[in-house]
Amino acid sequence: MASSKRSSSKRSAPESAGTPATVALSAAGIAYTVHPYEHQDDATHYGDEAAEELGVDRRQIFKTLVADVGGRLTVAVVPVADQLDLKALARACGAKKAQLADPRAAERSSGYVLGGISPIGQRTKLPTVIDSSSSDFATIFVSAGRRGLQVELSAADLVATTGAVVAPIAG
């Protein structure tokens, strides 16, 4: 569903103002659309803010979380409307348990700030698991690498560019 607040622009080549995520997508030749919106400094629920500002269903916008799964940092991508099921994530990774990573460790590893962590173009490539509900939509939205910027692409392209496993990890 579109909103008058929603603006977008197609990108096909790296730009000097791009983020590591958009640069990586362009370099891989993956089609995507950038959706900027006005981020409010006092916002703490970044995915909800993006959904509201862009007029997009909360099930179609996916948040990027970094978890410690069996002692290894792992990226989990789940709809904003849902919570990450840590037990399901551990199962998907063949581990006994998982917990959310320390926020500073997530920022250091990804090279992004909280609220702007993208599953694409991270400083350190981590194992990635994307919730299986991503296939419910022709395209999904994920952070483009900074607060106030989302990238829209097909779930298949997100899987391809991150080398992700797809599993039911949202609860």
Higher pLDDT among residues 46 and 32, named by residue? 32
Residues in the chain: 171
Domains with residue ranges and CATH for the chain: 9-167 (3.90.960.10)
Q: How far is CA 19 from the centre of its chain?
A: 13
Provide the pLDDT confidence category of residue 38 given band limits of 50, 70 and 90.
confident
Q: Is residue 14 over pLDDT 60?
A: no
- pLDDT reading at 6 higher than 60: no
Confidence of residue 7 (pLDDT cuts 50, 70, 90): very low
Residue 45: pLDDT band (50, 70, 90) is confident
The per-residue pLDDT of the chain, averaged, comes to 89
Contact 61, 51 (CB under 8 A): yes
Is the per-residue pLDDT at 37 higher than 50? yes
Report pLDDT digits (tens) over 112-138: 998 899 999 999 999 999 999 999 999
Give pLDDT, residue 128.
98
* pLDDT above 80 (res 83): yes
Mean of the pLDDT values across residues 13-17?
41
Here the tokens at position 120 are 């694409």
**Model confidence, pTM:** 0.87
The pair phi, psi for residue 49, each rounded to 5°, is -60, -45
